Each structure stands twice: as C-alpha cells, then as structure tokens.
Amino acid sequence: MIKTKSRGDLIIISGTTCAGKGTVIERLLERNKNLALSISYTSRPKRENEIDKVDYYFVTKEEFERKIKAGDFLEYAKVQYEAYYGTPKKEVIDLLNSGKDVILEIDVQGAKQIKKIYPETVLIFIMAPSMSEVKKRIKMRGMENNEQIIARFKVAYNEINEINQYNYVVVNDDLEMAVKKVEAILISEKLRVDRIEEVSVENEEEIIHEFLIDKEFNNEKNDL
C-alpha cells in the first residue's frame, strides 16, 4: 500500500578524535550491503599505508583548486598543514540516485555546509565515553607529541559544542552497541512519513474494505 522514495539517504557521521567513528563505519559497511562510503579528495601527500581511490582520491593542490572552481564538491575545507579535503558531488549524487545510502565521514564544518544544501541529511555524532578516555586512546597510539595532543583536545571541545547541529548523538563506550544504535537510527529514518512517495489501495483491499463497511452499516440498521 505504501511506496517509499527510491532515492538513498545521505548520512553524515562525525565525531571527536579517537571516538572510534572509523571503526563504527567499517562495521556498518560490513553488515549493511546498501550502504556506501563516499571517498573524499585531498591535496595532502599519500602516506605509505594508504591506497589511492580507496582511502582518498589523492590530487595536487592545483587540481583540487580547479575542481573547486568547477563546483565539483558538495563541501570542502583547507585544514591541517594547508591541505584541502573535499566531498565529490557527482559520485555522491550518482550513488543516492541508484538507491544507495551514502555515508560521509566528515568534520563538523563540512557537516554544516552540507546541511545547508541538503536539510534532509541524517547527521550522527559519535562521542567517546569521556575526554579522559580520549586522552588514553591518543597516548596508546603514540603518534603525537604533547603540543599535538593539546591541539586535538581543543578541536574536540569545539566540536562537542556543535552537537546541536546534529540529529543524533551516539556514545561509543561499547563498539557493538554503538553500531546497533546507528543501525537503529538508519532504520527509523526509512520509516519517516516524509519518505512516503504515495499511498495506494489495491482493488482486492478496496472490496474487503467496502464489504466491512456495508456489513457494519447493515448491523446498525437491524439494531434500529
């Protein structure tokens, strides 16, 4: 009876540093075949363990700026070390039109940009259980010095102050539970009334409906 829109949902997943959002997304993609992850463009150099067109589309700064002028990005920003990062417009729109639900793993600033263009975007913010846990996870990685850790904390606090821009907040204190919560959010979004394209009643259902109404009407007449 109910026909829902065939176009996929655009989903933004952001989160504080060391909140585990990347791992949550990996599990979601493993378990939900209709989900796709948008691959971002960046002008920063490729790291040793990274693969072009898998982790990012790696391009030069000049090529990135040409794409900006051509309007090829849904959102973009210049971030750490003056490198550009951006979400490709055509690839995302093609996936959505094919019926795929598309995840964008982007920061708060990028989420705000896309929210202005596509207000129907589902915005989910992943948080670590506490800032002390964030500190512990950063130290366990052993990749940053004290100055870099302080800088990450400042960014994290600023991002937490922006969570009112999001539709949902999920605390990642248990990975499996966090993944299930995000899955529940995605299911509930599919059930929203504004996703209904049309409501139709089949002929057989119409006949049954009319029969029940006639029967009720006849019973009322007999009671008079």
Q: What is the pLDDT of residue 198?
A: 59
pLDDT of residue 73: 97
State the pLDDT at residue 202.
60
CA 156 to chain centre: 19
Q: Which residues contact 211 (CB under 8 A, 6 or more apart)?
A: none
pTM for the structure as a whole: 0.81
- Tokens representing residue 27 in the block: 């599990």
- 3-class DSSP state of 104: strand
In angstroms, rounded to a whole number, what is the distance separating the alpha carbons of residues 130 and 92?
33
One DSSP character per residue, 66-103 reads: HHHHHT-EEEEEE-GGG-EEEEEHHHHHHHHHTT-EEE
Per the structure, the count of domains in the chain is 1
User: What's the confidence (pLDDT) of residue 23?
Assistant: 95
pLDDT at 130: 84
The closest alpha carbon to 171, from 187, 155, 182, belongs to 182
Backbone angles phi, psi at 146, to 5 degrees: -60, -40
Residue 160: the pLDDT is 84
Structural tokens at position 78 = 């210049």
Q: Residue 174 — φ and ψ, nearest 5°?
A: -145, 115
Q: What per-residue confidence (pLDDT) applies to 136?
A: 77
Q: Which residues of 97-134 are buried (b: 16+ CB within 10 A; e: fewer)?
A: eeebbbbbbbbbebbbbbbeeeeebbbbbbbbeeeeeb
Q: Is the distance from CB of 173 to CB of 129 less than 8 angstroms?
A: yes
Domain around 65: 2-223
**What are the CA-CA distances from residue 185 to residues 9, 39, 167 (Å)?**
12, 22, 10
d(CA 124, CA 25): 11
Q: Give me the CATH number covering residue 69.
A: 3.40.50.300
pLDDT at residue 2, as a whole number: 64
Which residues are CB-neighbours of 159 under 8 A, at least 6 positions away? Answer: 14, 15, 16, 107, 108
Rounded CA separation 148/141 (Å): 13
pLDDT value, residue 151 = 75
Nearest CA to 41 out of 5, 2, 92, 3 is that of 92
Close Cβ partners of 59 (under 8 Å, ≥ 6 residues apart):
41, 42, 43, 67
| Residuewise pLDDT in 10s, the chain (224 residues) | 666 678 899 999 999 888 999 999 999 999 999 999 999 999 999 988 899 999 999 999 999 999 999 999 999 998 766 799 999 999 999 999 999 999 999 999 999 999 999 999 999 999 988 877 777 777 776 666 777 777 777 777 888 888 999 999 999 999 999 999 999 999 999 988 887 765 555 656 556 656 666 655 455 555 54
